[in-house]
A and B are shown apart, each in its own frame.
Chain A
Amino acid sequence: MDLNRRAFLKAGAAAGGGLLLSVRLPVSMRDAEAASPTAADRFAPNGFIRIGRDGRVTLIVHKAEMGQGVYTSMPMLVAEELEVGLDQVHLEPAPPDHTLYADPLLHQQATGNSTSVRGAWEPLRRAGATGRAMLVSAAAQSWKVDASSCRAERGTVIHVPTGRRVTYGALADAAAKLPVPDTVALKDPKDFRLIGTPAKRLDSPDKVNGKAQFGIDVKVPGMKVATVAACPVFGGKLAGVDESKAKAVTGVRQVVRLDNAVAVIGDHMWAAQRGLRALDIRWDEGPHAALTTADIVQQLETASQKPGVVARREGDVVRAMAGAARKVEAVYQTPFLAHATMEPMNCTVHVRKDGCDVWVGTQVQTAAQAAAAQVTGLPLEKVRLHQYLLGGGFGRRLEIDFIAQAVQIAKRVEGPVKVVWTREEDTQHGVYKPYFYDRLAAGLDEQGMPIAWSHRLTGSSVMARMVPPAFKNGLDPDTIEGAAEPPYTFPNMLVDYVRQEPPGIPTGWWRGVGPTHNVFVVESFIDELAAAAKKDPFEYRRALLAGSPRARGVLELAVEKAGWGKPLPSGRGRGISLVHAFGETYIAQVAEVSVSKEGDVHAHRIVVAVDCGMIVNPDTVKAQMESGVNFGLGAALFNEITLKDGRVEQANFNNYRALRINEAPVIDVYLVKSAEAPGGIGEPGTCGVAPAVTNAIFAATGKRLRKLPVDSAQLRST
């Protein structure tokens, strides 16, 4: 697939004739350009559609497909207004281009934070509508009729009074010569024929027959395969390596030394792996060689004792707390987590004197291109990035570490090289969900209702590293999302953040980002308050939701569908959680779990009620709820990344467990019909499952878990 279409996109007319649709950037995208140091100093049209003379309709998808369904939802937005069927379109991943494809919410060409539909909802429909308007105009002009007497349907323009028809392909040349209209009318949602329907995923057929191409599947003539060992301690360096043993392995071609890693290049992965295993490598382990998780937790605990930067202040918490009938306090802790995407990190690179090709599945096309340019010293336009499917992202493929490393290796190799990390390398050289240490306190009135709420978060700011301009005055919007503005109303409230970066372990975004951490803490603590007040956890929450009817709506729906209050056998319990995040998405979950005498937890059923505004594809929303729940559940039950002697102790799926089918609950998803603007959906399903489960464990056992993952030893009753 040739993705190097920049020149073509700029030209405004499809090579070989036809229409390339150009739409003006929405204001927010122009703002993003102005704010970005990498902004191009030119205006270029935005391209999402290409229609050839042969009638082939190609929709260009600027988002990374990593399972969340953007290769279906993005085309649905365009096709709805362009008036083509999903069965009539071909998809092409967009090349890196900040000006054309920056997300209006993320201010860069990136896929994350559940922004795809939120950001593209209007621009992509406008792109489709503009295309349709130009095609209709071209047809009307050729027929010398008024455009208003024509309509479009399935790639054809029809002159309604006479029934004359002409295909988009036949109109492509004429439409390309027309000026782009300044304004176009978008459909009234009641006229949607595609948006809101459970359209089949466009990427499914190739994913069930082995044809789908992920980054790791790239085949380039003359390509070698490399695998890597980086210093097992973060921050360490390569001290020396004896290459002779590796070079003796059949199929090994080369050993490449980097500052902090060694790569073995072979004819295939097996040769590279055997060569790497044969190497005697000496490391200079650097300053973190003795680091343990306990050291980091100790630092967080100490840092959490001093006030942080205020993220939210309402009323006077100190005075309200002093006057409270009762005070409840707790400390919550959430661990470092790896992403463990099914497809291990990989990147294929060919560096030449005059250019560089990068084949990779990335969540950040422009940043990946820039990283390759930086490592090679080539100008940006000499780096061609070929985007592939992602075998899972979850935030890991927002990082460019593995891409930069692959380019460094490729610089030292003649011809193209595919760098593939082993699972062990992937687990031990991740960019981890940060450990957080949270202090909470609440003051309750005589009736047990909260009159004061204080929450201090202590941990890493991923935003400060990834998007420095968004880290302002000691705060970033992601770290505090779900904590500063919980769905509940408290008359007196103080939320503050202490930034404490852990030494010796990189931190990054993990599915559900800030809210995954904060929702666990807030929803657990509100459950504690209900218990302290001896009130039903559902009724207690509902009483605090007067200001949020949509939150109350999903909560009521979830408890109704879950049979809340119906008796359960001994050892079983139900727990609730509530999420409001990623724009205006509201999710309530009710988990039903059992706890064995040995302390083993099994989640039987999770009921999920979702109000995410207008829905593009209801089946995708359901799928993302199922996915988010299982992703979060596995982590809550099993996962933590720990350090000993500066090394990550976990390595593969034996000691960094993934949820398996026999452990997966029944998940019942209920969608609320809404005319509100779309909210995010890929991330938030993950956020609410841990507290729903731990609250259910409390209901079943009376034991409150304030630290993840679930510790069976604490739940044993024998």
Chain B
Amino acid sequence: MVRLRINGKLHQVDVPPDMPLLWTLRDVIGLTGTKFGCGMALCGACTVHLDGQPIRSCVTPVSAAIGKRVTTIEAVGATPSGGKIQKAWLDLDVVQCGYCQSGQIMSASALLAKNPRPTDADIDAAMAGNICRCGTYPRIRAAIKQAARSVSATEKGV
């Protein structure tokens, strides 16, 4: 049995410790917002947060998540940066097919939490691991900047 804390809830799952967190989330716990894209940490579709850090769940054994807080796309909206990122994504209608966007939003939320005013270079560095085959990159970049502006507005008490 593996005990996991996912989106604030405790789960006990009977899986081998080397099973990737991705498949535990999707096929055992039923949280399908986290996506399978490549299985090799090449595309970022499976990005979740472990204690707030973005990780590729397709190559992260479930054992590595024991004792840590796992946050997935289903709950990231409850975090300050995740909520702002989701709102900016809606304001700019970033999504197209939408399959990669869970991972994009998880990476972008982690970036914004750590860096409230990311430059273009910061965005490139944080987001280059997330592939979007629909090519929504211009809007991803714009939405991160818009979310960052809303962060600064909040800080200023606007």
Interfacial residues, chain A to chain B (CB-CB below 8 A): 65-69, 200-201, 203-205, 207-214, 216-217, 219, 225, 250, 267-270, 273, 340-344, 389-394, 420, 422-423, 619, 623, 626-631, 633-634, 652-654, 658-662, 664, 666-667
Give chain B residues whose Cβ lies under 8 Å from the Cβ of A664.
135, 137-138
B2 within 8 A of A: no
Give chain A residues whose Cβ lies under 8 Å from the Cβ of B11.
none
B43 within 8 A of A: yes
B34 within 8 A of A: yes
A119 to chain B, nearest CB (A): 21
The listed residue (A200, A214, A392, A630) touching B90 by CB distance below 8 A is: A200
Whether A210 lies near B93 (C-beta < 8 A) is no
Distance between Cα atoms of A658 and B138 in the complex (Å): 15
Whether B96 lies near A210 (C-beta < 8 A) is no
B118 within 8 A of A: no
A-B contact sample (9 more), CB < 8 A, given A67-B96, A343-B37, A392-B99:
A200-B93, A201-B93, A208-B86, A209-B77, A270-B23, A653-B38, A661-B124, A661-B137, A662-B127
The listed residue (B34, B98, B127, B138) touching A203 by CB distance below 8 A is: B98
Chain B interface, >50% SS class: loop
Sampled A-B contacts (21; CB under 8 Å) = A67-B97, A200-B90, A208-B101, A210-B74, A213-B32, A219-B32, A268-B28, A269-B26, A270-B23, A342-B134, A390-B97, A391-B35, A423-B40, A623-B136, A623-B139, A626-B137, A633-B135, A654-B40, A660-B130, A661-B137, A667-B138
Give chain A residues whose Cβ lies under 8 Å from the Cβ of B132.
342, 630, 661
Give chain B residues whose Cβ lies under 8 Å from the Cβ of A212.
98
Distance between Cα atoms of A68 and B96 in the complex (Å): 6
Whether A423 lies near B77 (C-beta < 8 A) is no
Given contacts A209-B74, A214-B99, contact A630 B93 (CB under 8 A): no
Whether B72 lies near A661 (C-beta < 8 A) is no
A635 to chain B, nearest CB (A): 11
B76-114 vs A, CB cutoff 8 Å, 1 = contact: the mask equals 010000000010011001111111111001000000000
Whether B130 lies near A661 (C-beta < 8 A) is yes
B70 within 8 A of A: no
B37 to chain A, nearest CB (A): 6
Q: Chain B CB within 10 Å — which of A208, A209, A210 has the most? A: A208
Whether B32 lies near A653 (C-beta < 8 A) is no
B4 to chain A, nearest CB (A): 15
Given contacts A209-B77, A219-B30, A342-B45, contact A623 B96 (CB under 8 A): yes
Whether A653 lies near B93 (C-beta < 8 A) is no
Distance between Cα atoms of A372 and B102 in the complex (Å): 31
Give chain A residues whose Cβ lies under 8 Å from the Cβ of B135.
626-631, 633-634, 659, 664
B37-61 vs A, CB cutoff 8 Å, 1 = contact: the mask equals 1111011010000000000000000
Give chain A residues whose Cβ lies under 8 Å from the Cβ of B19.
268, 270
Whether B127 lies near A661 (C-beta < 8 A) is yes
Whether B134 lies near A67 (C-beta < 8 A) is yes
Distance between Cα atoms of A267 and B97 in the complex (Å): 28
B112-151 vs A, CB cutoff 8 Å, 1 = contact: the mask equals 0000000000011101111111111111110000000000
Whether A666 lies near B42 (C-beta < 8 A) is no
Given contacts A344-B37, A654-B40, A661-B137, contact A207 B23 (CB under 8 A): no
Give chain B residues whose Cβ lies under 8 Å from the Cβ of A627.
96, 134-136
A510 to chain B, nearest CB (A): 12
Whether B136 lies near A626 (C-beta < 8 A) is yes
Given contacts A392-B133, A661-B140, contact A623 B93 (CB under 8 A): yes
Interfacial residues, chain B to chain A (CB-CB below 8 A): 15-16, 19-20, 23-24, 26-28, 30-40, 42-43, 45, 72-74, 77, 86, 89-90, 93-102, 105, 123-125, 127-141
Give chain A residues whose Cβ lies under 8 Å from the Cβ of B23.
268-270
The listed residue (B37, B45, B98) touching A67 by CB distance below 8 A is: B98
Q: Chain B CB within 10 Å — which of A69, A210, A392, A662 has the most? A: A210
Whether B36 lies near A207 (C-beta < 8 A) is no
Give chain A residues whose Cβ lies under 8 Å from the Cβ of B93.
200-201, 204, 619, 623
A64 to chain B, nearest CB (A): 10
The listed residue (B38, B77, B141) touching A652 by CB distance below 8 A is: B38
Give chain A residues whose Cβ lies under 8 Å from the Cβ of B27.
225, 267-270
Given contacts A270-B27, A342-B131, contact A201 B124 (CB under 8 A): no
B138 to chain A, nearest CB (A): 5
Whether A631 lies near B133 (C-beta < 8 A) is yes
| Closest residue on chain B to residue A340 by CB atoms | B133
Distance between Cα atoms of A296 and B59 in the complex (Å): 37
Given contacts A208-B89, A630-B135, contact A344 B36 (CB under 8 A): yes
Give chain A residues whose Cβ lies under 8 Å from the Cβ of B74.
209-211
Whether A209 lies near B133 (C-beta < 8 A) is no
Give chain B residues whose Cβ lies under 8 Å from the Cβ of A68.
96
Given contacts A204-B90, A344-B37, contact A210 B102 (CB under 8 A): yes
| Closest residue on chain A to residue B75 by CB atoms | A210
Given contacts A208-B90, A210-B73, A269-B23, contact A661 B32 (CB under 8 A): no
Whether B16 lies near A250 (C-beta < 8 A) is yes
Distance between Cα atoms of A623 and B100 in the complex (Å): 16
Distance between Cα atoms of A630 and B138 in the complex (Å): 10
Give chain B residues whose Cβ lies under 8 Å from the Cβ of A201.
93, 95
B134 to chain A, nearest CB (A): 5
B113 to chain A, nearest CB (A): 17
The listed residue (A267, A268, A273, A342) touching B100 by CB distance below 8 A is: A342
Closest 7 CB pairs of A and B: A210-B33, A630-B135, A391-B99, A67-B96, A67-B97, A207-B98, A268-B27
Distance between Cα atoms of A396 and B133 in the complex (Å): 13
Q: Chain B CB within 10 Å — which of A268, A342, A344 has the most? A: A342
Given contacts A269-B26, A653-B42, contact A208 B97 (CB under 8 A): no
Give chain A residues whose Cβ lies under 8 Å from the Cβ of B138.
626, 664, 666-667
Whether B133 lies near A341 (C-beta < 8 A) is yes
Distance between Cα atoms of A2 and B99 in the complex (Å): 23
Whether A654 lies near B42 (C-beta < 8 A) is yes
Whether A210 lies near B72 (C-beta < 8 A) is yes
Distance between Cα atoms of A630 and B137 in the complex (Å): 8
Distance between Cα atoms of A214 and B101 in the complex (Å): 12
A620 to chain B, nearest CB (A): 9
B141 to chain A, nearest CB (A): 7
The listed residue (B24, B36, B125) touching A420 by CB distance below 8 A is: B36
| Closest residue on chain A to residue B27 by CB atoms | A268
B32 to chain A, nearest CB (A): 4
Given contacts A270-B19, A666-B138, contact A342 B32 (CB under 8 A): no
Given contacts A66-B97, A661-B141, contact A342 B133 (CB under 8 A): yes
Give chain B residues whose Cβ lies under 8 Å from the Cβ of A211.
33, 74
Distance between Cα atoms of A391 and B134 in the complex (Å): 9
Distance between Cα atoms of A205 and B72 in the complex (Å): 16
Distance between Cα atoms of A664 and B125 in the complex (Å): 13
Distance between Cα atoms of A201 and B137 in the complex (Å): 17
Give chain B residues whose Cβ lies under 8 Å from the Cβ of A217.
26, 32
B133 to chain A, nearest CB (A): 5
Whether B133 lies near A210 (C-beta < 8 A) is no
Distance between Cα atoms of A394 and B40 in the complex (Å): 23
Distance between Cα atoms of A224 and B131 in the complex (Å): 29
Distance between Cα atoms of A270 and B38 in the complex (Å): 13
Whether A653 lies near B43 (C-beta < 8 A) is yes
